[in-house]
Amino acid sequence: MSFVTFIYRIGKKTYFGKYIFDDYVSDDHNGLDTEIMHDVLGAINRYRVKHERPILSETELTIGILSFCPGNAHIPVYSSEEEYKAFDLYYEAAPSFSFTPAIVYINGEIV
């Protein structure tokens, strides 16, 4: 599994997130922040709808990448199942070609 740790801003408030996935990441993209934007924004908006808050547009969300760890046999990336509690947003993408949904936590609450 690979993962990206990031900060994101809504207005003047900064939050911490982690995005976990098992897909290959090509170096031919416009930035990891733009690669995860759609999924992160969708998760935040599902949470906001659930809590009767207005949805956000891409212009209201800024993502800053802190680190990227490509998953491979030489780098141990295992974390406990309780890790999600440490992040404001924790996104575990569904495996490629899977019909299972992503697992998303915001503020420790499954979305």
pLDDT of residue 100: 87
- Core vs surface per residue 57-71: b (16+ CB within 10 A) or e: eeeebebeeeeeeeb
By mean pLDDT, which of 15-19, 28-32, 86-90 is the weakest? 28-32
* Other C-beta atoms lying within 10 Å of the C-beta of residue 29: 10
Mean pLDDT, range 57-66, rounded to an integer: 97
Q: What percent of the chain has pLDDT over 70?
A: 88
Question: pTM value?
Answer: 0.88
| 99-108 pLDDT, tens digit each | 889 999 999 9
Give dist(CA 31, CA 38) in Å, integer.
13
23 DSSP assignment: S
Mean pLDDT, range 16-29, rounded to an integer: 79
pLDDT of residue 76: 64
Give dist(CA 37, CA 8) in Å, integer.
10
Q: Is the pLDDT of residue 36 over 70?
A: yes
Mean pLDDT, range 92-103, rounded to an integer: 85
| Residue 60 contacts residue 53 (beta carbons within 8 Å) | no
Give dist(CA 81, CA 75) in Å, integer.
19
